Chain A
Amino acid sequence: MKNKKNIIYTAIAIVVYLLLFALVETGTASRQMQNLIVPVLVNIILAVSLNLIVGFLGELTLGHAGFMSVGAYAGCMFTVSCNLPVYIELPVAFVIGGLTAAVFGFIIGIPALRLKGDYLAIVTLGFGEIIRSILNSMDIVGGSGGLKGIEKSGNYTVAYVLMIITLIVISNVIHSCHGRSIKAIRDNVIAAESVGVNVVYYKMFAFVLSAFFAGVAGVLYGQNLGILKPATFDFNKSIEILVMVVLGGMGNIKGSIIAAVILTVLPELLRDLADYRMLFYALALIIMMLFSSNPTLVEFRQRIFSRSKREVN
């Protein structure tokens, strides 16, 4: 049963990659779509990793862009200052970015042990702002002008491999006893402690692991774009990732993937709306939240869907 599932997932992963390969290498896909592949994959990594904290651990953080930025800067600083062959440099950069972000994940995990809900949210938001503020005034990483001259060695294959690694690691963690502990803490801290779940350890672990992958995503972002600017990693970026997680469903990895794809591609497809684009995005956000969380509307939606299904049958 389980093996069968694994085989299906592996097959999907391979087919999707082959599809990407075919679309890109034959030039069938438009430039716009080719160009969107890496950002989509970056956002998937970000959303899935944030889901570990928000969806599985049940803590609200608004500082994911902060983890992303420290990882991005650390990894990209390495590639800028070292001139190693790309096949050595790139993996090392990802590890450096991930580990640096993980250290920050550990640091921000400490208040998470003491604070809950909105208080933790504001602390993580503050953390993101502190990082940005410091990066802005650090001339060694380019200050507000940003880190320039990063070799653009990230491509869709690298990004795809990283995304698959992220998915495997996070979903394997979730479906192990460690993941159960994390979910137990989310559902009821006191009960979790009463059956011996080490709350401190697992909270820390979730923050560290999530930050690690955010850092990796950051390096990938920088390697793909060639420039990093502190202003990119502001509070709105964290919100953007959070929206993906909430929209895709908390604690639902597949949902995060789908939401990341939609929310990255949709604004690009809406370019024709020009000035009305942000307005449309805002409305879409509100309507989607209403449709996914309001009892009456949820019922209404289900009725429509079940009817259309019957008609199809």
Chain B
Amino acid sequence: MALVDIRQLGISFGGLRAVDNFNLTMDDGQLYGLIGPNGAGKTTIFNLLTGVYKPTDGEFYFDGELMNGKTPIQINKKGIARTFQNIRLFSNMSVIDNVKTGLQAKYHYSMLDGILRLPKFGRMEREMTDRAMELLKIFDLDGEAEQLASNLPYGKQRKLEIARALATDPKLLLLDEPAAGMNPNETAELMNTISLIREKFKVSILLIEHDMSLVMGICEKIVVLLYGRVIANGIPDEIKNDPKVIVAYLGE
């Protein structure tokens, strides 16, 4: 059974059809690219999948369960985590606290434990800190653990967002332009990291990206969106040579 099964998903804003008849299936551990020109509806699809927007039609099954109508929180608990195109960190919290916020669902203790500082509080906090440091190490952020998130340079902020998303222990990770604003070196490094986390966390990834080298380099399959509709879906080589895609990107 496929991990992700999206059937004829669509949404309208007023009269505007932002996404129409979107179909996608993803298997466990797959790395899928989602590309398309600006305004094609890529981020809208992410918002539909994570419950920020409610689809006007179609169904979204995740791990065999219907996700339509679920809240972002419920969807996250089912195992979908995401990053944002315009970075959304908890900017006035420390780097490690950003990650710990993502870990909380797993290492939970009650309000009373927290207020009275019962033993469970200490134990859970310690485990959380250890786990958070592990995650930060992967992204080479362990040196900045106590810094304010907003003080990190841009590239590191993007990485922190991925680390925070991973902290919720997702089965599916949605990355929205993770390489935006990075220089080629940083992008190359990011490609490595993405491959690494995919191996290490056994997580499926759906990736929105403008950087073609990144997408073509690491994605197993790619789906291309134009004006809210899918115009191509296949392996990178097919996409590269698809006349419709070329037209969409380069014009006639």
Contact = CB atoms under 8 A, between A and B. Distances in A.
Contact of B114 (A177, A196, A197, A198): A177
A197 B103 CA distance: 10
Interface stretch (A184-192, A220-228, A238-246): A184-192
A32 interface: no
B114 A199 contact: no
Nearest to B71: A193
B100 A192 contact: no
A197 B89 contact: no
Interface stretch (B163-171, B205-213, B223-231): B163-171
A188 B89 contact: yes
Contacts of A195: 76, 81, 101-102, 164-165, 167-168
B61 interface: no
Contacts of B164: 191, 195
12 contacts: A176-B111, A177-B108, A179-B114, A184-B93, A188-B89, A190-B88, A194-B76, A194-B81, A194-B82, A194-B84, A196-B102, A197-B104
Interface of B: 50, 52, 71-73, 76-77, 81-82, 84, 88-93, 97, 100-102, 104-105, 107-109, 111, 113-117, 121, 124-125, 128, 164-165, 167-168
B81 A184 contact: no
Contacts of A190: 52, 72, 84, 88
B73 A199 contact: yes
Contacts of A187: 89-93
Contact of A192 (B77, B82, B90, B113): B90
Nearest to A183: B93
Nearest to B80: A194
B93 A193 contact: no
Contact of A197 (B82, B88, B101, B107): B101
B89 A191 contact: yes
Nearest to B109: A177
Contacts of B88: 188, 190-191, 194
Nearest to A198: B73
A159 B57 CA distance: 59
A196 B81 CA distance: 9
Give the 10 A-B CB pairs with smallest separation, nearest first.
A176-B114, A187-B90, A191-B88, A193-B72, A196-B76, A195-B102, A177-B104, A188-B88, A184-B101, A196-B105
Interface in A159-187: 168-169, 172-173, 176-181, 183-184, 186-187
Interface string A230-251: 0000000000000000000001
Contacts of B167: 195
A194 B50 contact: yes
Given A191-B88, A194-B72, A195-B167, 18 more contacts: A168-B115, A176-B113, A176-B114, A176-B121, A176-B125, A177-B101, A177-B108, A178-B114, A180-B100, A183-B93, A184-B90, A188-B91, A191-B84, A192-B101, A194-B82, A195-B164, A196-B73, A197-B73
Contacts, number: 99
Contacts of A192: 90, 101
A173 B115 contact: yes
Counting chain B CB atoms within 10 Å of each CB, the highest count among A193, A196, A199 belongs to A196
A192 B90 CA distance: 8
A186 B90 CA distance: 8
Contacts of B100: 177, 180
Contacts of B124: 177
Given A187-B91, A188-B89, A178 B76 contact: no
Contacts of A197: 73, 101, 104
Nearest to B76: A196
B82 A180 contact: no
Given A183-B92, A186-B92, A193 B73 contact: yes
